[in-house]
Amino acid sequence: MLRWLIGGGREPQGLAEKSPLQTIGEEQTQNPYTELLVLKAHHDIVRFLVQLDDYRFASAGDDGIVVVWNAQTGEKLLELNGHTQKITAIITLPSLEACEEKNQLILTASADRTVIISLNPEPSEIAMVTKGPCLAVLRRLDVWLSGGNDLCMWNRKLDLLCKTSHLSDTGKKSSLWLSVRFYSMNWISALIEIPKNCVVAAVGKELIIFRLVAPTEGSLGWDILEVKRLLDHQDNILSLVNVNDLSFVTGSHVGELIIWDILDWTVQACEHNFWDPSPQLDTQQEIKLCQKPNDVSIHHFTWDEENIFVAVGRGLYVYNLQMKRVIACQKTAHDSSVLHVAKLPNRQLISCSEDGSVRIWELREKQQLAAEPVPTGFFNMWGFGRVNKQASHPVKKQQENAILFSLELIGDLIGHSSSVEMFLYFEDHGLVTCSADHLIILWKNGERESGLRSLKLFQKLEENGDLYLAV
């Protein structure tokens, strides 16, 4: 006789330490992604995705290939081989508005060389320019920078404008090659542009601010001047972004989040007790969790006008810039490190992780009347310790004005079999994820796609003259 058991939803969590990971069943009504397309071209980890225009994106990874895709159809448009080693950075140099010919460049950096791919009118590759794993574009000056163990400045025509000497120990502008021991410490790992023709480079624990001097009447060439070194971080800086016109943010391996003033390079706010076991913390498990530095390293952040969304270890934190504190968090958003987060226009947050999943969160505002008291750290704050035991619900943070925010899991995308390195959101075409399983997956809104296909069908019918409209 037939009997069926409702076993709905919970899948065995393979990686399960007894994690209070929030899960969502198979019924995800708010998850719009009901269609996927697997794109195969790479044969090693795909690490980077970059959007080229409304419908194209490029992917790059450890196999040294750059592939250009059509985000609508999933069609492979181009495959570009130039690197012999892993690609470490990819950036686009948009075509100038003033420039008549549209000439979008893709710059890719790898340990071997930088390759510039010009996409319009036809793709071409320009061979080795320099060594350097890190790239930045200064739009205002229309130059780009490559950073490795030195910093080079280039223009669109690929002339080397200027070059710093090797960055070694503080203060010394020596031309000595770095010893292997310090190699990683002195390698520019991130590079962003800030106002006043300055760039910030993250080198190990330090932030170095360089000023680019444009040629003036007095001096002939470009010059790069080291302006300042900021030594507030205690560990390697992993992420560095411009948040808005006022500040930029850095995150380090041990979970320090520092918000800097973009103009005078001073610390506006610092949040470094993501990892600090708060005094109240007593359970062994949580200590264990927190003691792994990997669990609190800040891999990525994203921002909007009000908040910075920080991927800390396995968790997600929402830091409010005005209130200067964390307003919502999800301590274990994923089974393992969150690698990339992005904010969608509709208050949704997407995160991807080493556990191979992509999760969609929504930041919800809640009024809560009776809230438990909130401990305040010296900056405020919220540590791991405050997790309530039934942690299957998002941890709430009570504000003074009783507005609570929470991150609600509204859907997850399971497709990759290995760590999801990065994703890219297209307003019109859905989400593109890339992963260490060599795949790229295009997630689409099935309903919308179906409508589009239907439209296409009737267009084709009309073209063929087969369309008879009902009277």
Q: Which two tokens stand for residue 373?
A: 């008291």
Residue range at the interface with another protein (CB under 8 A); choices 61-69, 191-199, 286-294, 445-453: 445-453
Choices 132-140, 150-158, 206-214, 446-454 (CB under 8 A): range interacting with another protein: 446-454
- Verify binding: residue 7, another protein, rule CB under 8 A: yes
The torsion angles phi and psi of 266, rounded to 5 degrees, stand at: -105, 160
CA distances from 244 to 167, 247, 259 (A): 28, 6, 11
- Using CB under 8 A as the binding rule, the residues of this chain from 17 to 56 that contact another protein are 25-29, 31, 34-38, 40
Whole-number Å distance between alpha carbons of 364 and 405: 5
In the bound complex, what is the minimum distance in angstroms from residue 177's beta carbon to another protein? 45
Nearer to another protein, 3 or 18 (CB): 3
Minimum CB distance to another protein smaller for 9 or for 215: 9
**By the rule CB under 8 A, 469 interacts with another protein:** yes
417 binds another protein (CB under 8 A): yes
Q: Which of 11, 159, 306, 372 binds another protein (CB under 8 A)?
A: 11
Q: Is there a cis peptide before residue 279, judged by omega within 30 degrees of 0?
A: no
Picking from 87, 70, 68, 92, the residue whose alpha carbon sits closest to that of residue 79 is: 68
Stretch binding another protein (CB under 8 A), from 42-50, 135-143, 296-304, 435-443: 435-443
Q: Does 16 bind another protein (CB under 8 A)?
A: no
Does position 467 interact with another protein (CB under 8 A)? The reply is yes
Q: How far apart are CB 447 and another protein at their closest, in Å?
A: 8
- Using CA atoms, how far apart are residues 421 and 368, in angstroms rounded to an integer? 36
**Spacing of C-alpha 103 from chain mean position:** 26
- Residue 409: CB minimum distance to another protein, A: 13
Rounded to 5°, the CA angle 6-9-14 comes to 125
Q: By CB under 8 A, tell whether 362 contacts another protein.
A: no
Q: Is 5 in the site for another protein (CB under 8 A)?
A: yes
Least Å distance between CB 121 and another protein?
24
Q: How many angstroms separate the CA atoms of 467 and 55, rounded?
A: 29
Extract the runs of DSSP E, i.e. beta strands, from 20-174: 33-40, 46-51, 56-61, 65-70, 76-81, 87-93, 105-110, 114-118, 124-126, 134-138, 143-147, 151-155, 160-163
- Report the C-alpha gap between 149 and 129 in whole angstroms: 15
Options 6-14, 136-144, 269-277, 293-301: segment touching another protein (CB under 8 A): 6-14
Is the CB of 271 or the CB of 412 nearer to another protein? Answer: 412
What span, in angstroms and rounded, lies between the C-alpha atoms of 403 and 382? 16
76 closest CA partner among 67, 85, 84: 67
* Residue 292 makes contact with another protein by CB under 8 A: no
What φ, ψ does residue 278 adopt, rounded to 5°? -75, 160
Q: With binding defined as CB under 8 A, does residue 415 bind another protein?
A: yes
Are 303 and 243 contacting, i.e. CB atoms less than 8 angstroms apart? Answer: yes
| 426 binds another protein, rule: CB under 8 A | no
Q: Site for another protein (CB under 8 A): which residue of 43, 102, 173, 456?
A: 456
**Is the CB of residue 468 less than 8 Å from the CB of residue 459?**
no
- Closest separation between CB of residue 418 and another protein, Å? 10
Nearest residue (CB) to another protein, 73 versus 291: 73
Binding-residue total with another protein (CB under 8 A): 52
Longest dimension (CA), the chain: 93
> Could you say which residues in the range 247-286 bind another protein, by CB under 8 A?
none
HEC profile for 120-141? CCCCEEECCCCCCCEEEEECCC
Residues 56-115 that bind another protein (CB under 8 A): 73-74
- For residue 461, state whether it binds another protein (rule: CB under 8 A): yes
Nearer to another protein, 172 or 460 (CB): 460
449 near another protein, judged by CB under 8 A: yes
Strands lying side by side in the sheet with 247-252: 237-242, 247-252, 257-261, 267-271
Please give the residue ranges that form the binding site for another protein (CB under 8 A): 1-9, 11-12, 14, 25-29, 31, 34-38, 40, 73-74, 411, 414-417, 437, 439, 441-442, 444, 446, 449-451, 453-458, 460-461, 467-470
